[in-house]
Structure 1
Amino acid sequence: MAQWIDEDDLDEMAEHSEPEPATKSKSGNAVKLASLPFGTLASASRALEPRHHSDDDLDSDEDSDEERKVPHLGDPSSSRPTAPKKLKVKRPDKHAPMEITSKKPVSRRRTIIDVPKIEQRDPRFSTLSGEFNPNKFAHSYSFVTDMQQDEVASLRKSLALARKLSQSSPAHLREERAAEVTRLERALKRTESAVERAKREKRDREVLGNAKREERKKRETGKTGWFMKTGEKRELLAKARFEELAAVGGKQAVNKAITKRKLKLNQKEKRSRPDSGS
């Protein structure tokens, strides 16, 4: 019959007992274990067994995992709306028409009848307008030059009247009328420049047109093709300009224009020199 010994007494006995030498045989150890009480051996066995997780521990672990999965209120990802899943409708046959599910909401605005879209086009950049013909354009808008000439005559009369009023105006109106004279002078100069440009372009078109017609006649008689160079075109236009000046003002007007042209070229050459600033 085994005698029960308390664990505290067993620990005290182990402390007072001297350590056994390592040279004893295994049979001596077995005899000592056999002499120990059963309760002591059971408690020692429980202490040496590996610890297993209990059901309570497993439940607590599952609860902690669920807490990790639950998003926090301050997390920005939790407030992000989830995209709705696209509803896929399967056809009974690949040749069958596509069906639209009734679960998908229909937009409030939808096209019932297709109306052709009106496309705006710019005639300046459209191929439907054809190529630009300067002669035809000038002939179609020749009335603009006539209107500008009438405007020049009207501005000259208004400018003469404004200058007369400015000379005899009181002191408190002198500045205002002087500004009106300046405005009319600028408008007259701008309109005269537009009229002169229109006349010059008309003269150049006529001169180049005559040259092309003469060249076309020469080709009909058997002459080979010839194309006018830029320098030759410039000389031809200058000759036509001087002939027009001679017809209006005589040789004196031609000499004045030539002198003015030379002075302009000399000033341009001086400005282009490296030492022009010194």
Structure 2
Amino acid sequence: MKKPNNATAGSSKTKFKEESEEDNKTTSVTSSEEEEEIERELAEITFEDLLKARSDGSHLVYRKNSQEKKAGRANKNRPMEVSAKKPVSRFREVVQAPKRVVRDPRFESLCGNLDVEGFRKRYDFLFENTLPAEKEELKKQLKKTNDPNAVDKLKKRISWIDKQLRFESTKSTDAAILAEHKKKEREAAKHGKRPFYLKNSEIRKQRLIEKYNKLKGSGKVESFIEKRRRKNAAKDHKYMPYRRPNNNDQ
């Protein structure tokens, strides 16, 4: 009757021995891996650094920090230990989608180079015909309507058109001045002279001279000066100090 008990005891002993042998194997594997890791780290350190570390005792701290920072597995069959302080990303890339490339036509050589003169010649009809005709139509609508919201929208649109027309006229004048200057400089370069490039301040000065000559030819110089004087006076009037009311004068 005691034979089965001996058999069970023997089987438990053999299981315990097998488990202890496996644990010994895992500990031996981990110790050998740690030794190999230490040997690799020591191989990368110079002899001078080793002497300094031994002299001040910092090699012990280095070993301790390296062991703390080491993130690995005690056994290859175990999962990797990851710090719980680092949050896990909510998004996971399941499908490798192609990266979307956004191109700006202003800075891409594939779209060609911008021809400013050609662009101005092609779309010159907008500033010569389309916008002035739209401005006249808006003025007619402004006289007919009485709705304050509609009046506000029409006035904003008219002021925007005026701004665009002024800007384009300034740009066209500057382009004409620059083209004339380049033509003169090419002729001078043929005779061996060095080219002179106009600054923006010089272009602005010549533009004002041309504007003055046009006003003088049409006889509108005085009216233009008076209009500008009233405009500047209205600006200065905003910053004029007012005399505080005195109670003694009342």
Which structure shows the bigger proportion of residues in helix conformation? 2
TM superposition score normalised by structure 1: 0.45
TM superposition score normalised by structure 2: 0.49
Structure showing greater radius of gyration is 1
